[in-house]
Chains A and B, each alone.
Chain A
Amino acid sequence: VKKNLRQTIMKSSTDIESHVTMPLTLEAHHLAQKFYRQHPKANIAKRVYLNTLAIYAVHTYLKALGIESQLAAGDSWNRSLQALSDTADLVVSGKGKLECRPLLPNEDALLIPPEVQNNRIGYVAVHLDSSLREATLLGFVMATHTESIPIEKLLPLEKLLMSLSETPVKIGNWLTGIFDDEWQAISELWLAKSLTWQFRNTTMGIEPVIRYRVVTIEQVNHHPTLALIVGIAPTQTRERDIWIRVCSTTEYTYLPVNLEVKILDSAGTAVMQAQARETEAIQLKFGGQPLEKFSVQMLLGDHSQIETFVI
């Protein structure tokens, strides 16, 4: 047995840069079988079994890296939704939902069912061996509207981890004058001019605190840079008014066509969204309580950029 172990360690340490292999423990199978037995239709039962293992593997992996995720919070842990939707979602605390898609030994593409193509921060490809003893995390893609993604197009997991381990921007602190360096005061006159009236209608007539940062959305041929502008103002209650505005960094420029901006709550559910046609800016306004988390997701084609905030 010891010799075996040593080989396993050596094997995994050589692969460690590209892929990560996680054991599928008895506990994982036990959970999977509990769900499995609730579904009389063989295809659905099998799908639920494999999805559960994939989710479990990603959950364990994130846990090892100190990233908290909540198994039971997802649709995939609800027996009705398991039957109604091919979902393998995993709620990553304060970030949103990761979709953990199982790949079987003979499959060489990540398949994304139409019913889970929205409201995900990413799709992780989880390869399962035929004995279902091991799961290998192959990589991931961000938001997508494609049903099938070849393995060689997957992005390395490190990129996902980087975005998941980013700490949320504490905009509640802005009201007391504390800012992170990357969030700048609006300096360009034209940006400021359009904002002074856009963000004005606060309940108390207090000027909101406004900061922005530049966001680049990676595209094949071009990399449009956008300004993500965030405003926050107190109200008469504990609630804060919050403005989110996305516009181009150059004056008189439309946003990229089909750019989508979504506000996600802490469970990763889109609570507001807007899409650019021939638009110079997208603006959303909402309210939130101190310590509440939300994310702003900007999607264009297969790429997405997400920024998480805590009020």
Chain B
Amino acid sequence: VGNADEHSVSFYQSHEVRDLALQGLFIYICEHIHLYSPERATVLAWANFLLSKRFFNEASREFMHTAPKGISPDFKRLSIDDLNDEISDESFSQSPSSNHAEIRQLLQSDPENIFQITHVRNSKEASFQAIALSRLEERSWQELSEELGVKVSTLSGFYQTCLDRFKPIFEKHLNS
């Protein structure tokens, strides 16, 4: 392990293995703290012993195992900068199964005839359909509140309750 950088495992990969090993170690320590005996070593020595003798091997095995199977070897994490850069990078969102368009279509067609008739009390314009479509277009709560003449907390509370209630409809029609 000490020579990982020089051999087949790249630095990048060893970083991943380290993260996995630490995660395993922390969980082990939480669950097995009673196995620690102070007369034998300091906590830190115990932790390092476990890490090098056990969790590093387990993590390497797990990493080698999962990498080709579930996660492609050239899979790359995104950083916050990457996420911000992607905004201008159309190519990344590889024709994204038009999730957005499907949801909009479902909201507009209202197949169970419920999205439009469900509205904030005494305010027909503030229907679930209208609010959901606006949220999908990223309009702010403040803007919506001014337009509909309903307090933000009333609108958002109503919306949250509706989403809970209509979740099965979305699941049924959009097989998420």
Contact = CB atoms under 8 A, between A and B. Distances in A.
B38 interface: no
A23 B22 contact: yes
A116 B164 CA distance: 11
Contact of A64 (B16, B30, B77, B135): B30
B78 interface: yes
B93 A39 contact: yes
B22 A8 contact: yes
A4 B157 contact: no
B98 A40 contact: yes
Contacts of A178: none
Given A2-B2, A30-B71, A40-B99, A114 B84 contact: no
Contacts of A131: 77, 79-80
Contacts of B44: 6, 9-10, 13
B14 interface: yes
A24 B20 CA distance: 9
Given A2-B2, A23-B23, A81-B167, A132 B157 contact: no
Interface in A74-89: 75, 78-81, 83-85
Contacts of A85: 135, 159-160, 163
B99 A133 contact: no
Contacts of A23: 19-20, 22-23
Given A30-B71, A39-B99, A65-B30, A130 B81 contact: yes
A130 B167 contact: no
Interface in B83-134: 83-84, 86-87, 92-94, 96-100, 103, 106, 132
A78 B77 contact: no
B4 A83 contact: no
A212 to B, nearest CB: 30
Contacts, number: 175
Given A5-B48, A132-B77, A78 B153 contact: no
Contacts of A30: 70-71, 75
**Chain A, interface SS category:** helix
A46 B27 contact: no
Nearest to A81: B163
Given A46-B83, A75-B167, 20 more contacts: A1-B1, A1-B4, A8-B22, A9-B48, A25-B20, A26-B16, A26-B71, A36-B78, A38-B97, A40-B100, A78-B167, A79-B174, A80-B99, A80-B103, A80-B171, A84-B103, A85-B160, A105-B80, A115-B159, A131-B79
20 contacts: A1-B4, A1-B14, A9-B51, A26-B19, A26-B71, A38-B97, A39-B96, A45-B86, A46-B83, A64-B27, A66-B31, A79-B99, A79-B174, A80-B106, A81-B167, A84-B103, A85-B159, A114-B156, A130-B79, A130-B80
Interface of B: 1-2, 4-5, 14-16, 18-23, 26-27, 30-31, 43-44, 47-48, 51-52, 63, 66-67, 70-71, 75, 77-81, 83-84, 86-87, 92-94, 96-100, 103, 106, 132, 135-136, 138, 141, 152-153, 155-157, 159-161, 163-164, 167, 170-171, 174, 176
